[in-house]
Structure 1
Amino acid sequence: MNKRKFLPNVTSALLLFVGIGATAGGLGAMMDPSGESMGVPIELLEQSPFENFLIPGIFLFFITGIASLIVSYLAFKNYRHTGIATMILGMVMILWISAQMYWLTDINWLHHLFFGIGIVEIILGFFFYVRRNGHNIFHKHRGSAAH
């Protein structure tokens, strides 16, 4: 694979994976807020501020799903602000998963996986930003007295 395409392609693929899963899950939660058709018991929400899966489903569909699909496309096209957008999506993912782990009565391996994906999104976004915007953080700037 071309070196210049590696970072945009990896970032795009990860965001596409997240986006497809989140839109599907969010759509399922919006269509059946009881969670019954998805095999998710409503009792999971006992400690949360939600009575059903509608609001989490809307968040999952639009904020995690659609936004990830849009930024996936931007990464593939090597759009200038993809790094910032990817870092924001990573932070949102970490906050979303942290809230789930706090509120839900059941924590499983998917929470850990997607928490890790959030961290990877932040890292990829950072490197995307640095590379795309011409910053070189690994070499000392010459001629600068400030350190």
Structure 2
Amino acid sequence: MKSTIGRNCLILLLGFLSLGAIGGGASLIISPNGSLIGMPLFLLKKSPFHDFLIPGIVLFLLLGVAPFVLVFALIRKPASEFVEKLNCYDDMHWAWTFSIYTAFILIAWIQLEMMFLQAVSWLHTFYMSLAIAILFVALLPAVRSLYQKSS
């Protein structure tokens, strides 16, 4: 029972991240000048980017589409030789490992965003907390046991 509650919580956290990142990333891809979501280009003055297109694509794919795929992979546990090659935990299903990767990607994303913007907002704190929550839930023994490969 505890394991399915933990798993469902992990799925909800990743789903929430995915929806927000798909929406935000798509907005930045559609409107690279940031006008669609009210982000002025001067925010990028200390970054290597001239507009929001590349950050939008990265946000959309890594923190939007990838967690969306993970939601289904955590439910169905499909086998995949390709992604298994990127799994650094041989005893765990790749979907669980990629949940951990996603949390670290989100942490790196927020850190880079704060560095480039040279500012911290409540959204940075919120998404950093979300990354920590994803890590915490994924590392719960009951959740780990669901994704442990049988020997």
- TM (norm. structure 2) is 0.81
Aligned match of 2:148 in 112, 133, 136?
133
Q: Which has the larger radius of gyration?
A: 1
Q: What residue number does 1:99 align with?
A: 112
Cα deviations across residues 71-113 of structure 1 (Å, max 9, x unaligned)?
1122233563332111100000000000001111442100111
Matched, 1:41 2:5: no
State whether residues 110 and 127 of structure 2, in contact with CA within 8 Å, keep that contact through their aligned partners in structure 1.
yes
Within a 5 Å distance, the mapping from 1:1-147 to structure 2 comes to: 2-77=1-76, 80-127=93-140, 128-133=143-148
Counterpart Cα distance in 1 of 2:2 and 2:131: 24
The 2-side partners of 1:27 and 1:93 are apart by: 17
Contact 2:3 2:146 in 1 (8 A): no
**Secondary structure of the structure 1 residue equivalent to 2:139:** helix
- Look up the SS of the partner of 1:49 in the other structure: coil
For these two proteins, the number of residue pairs brought into alignment is 134
Q: What is the letter of the counterpart of residue 89 of structure 1?
A: T
Percent sequence identity is 28
Distance 2:11 2:77 in 1: 9
Task: Tell me the distance in 1 between the aligned counterparts of 2:36 and 2:11.
Answer: 30
Which stretches in structure 2 are left out of the alignment for 5+ residues? 79-92
TM-score w.r.t. structure 1 length? 0.83
Question: Which one scores higher on RCO, CA 8 angstroms, separation ≥ 6?
Answer: 2
Kept in 2: contact 1:97–1:111 (CA 8 A): yes
Q: Is the 8 A contact 1:85 1:125 kept in 2?
A: no
Note if contact 1:84-1:126 (Cα within 8 Å) is conserved in structure 2. Answer: no
CA contact (8 A) 1:44 1:105 kept: no
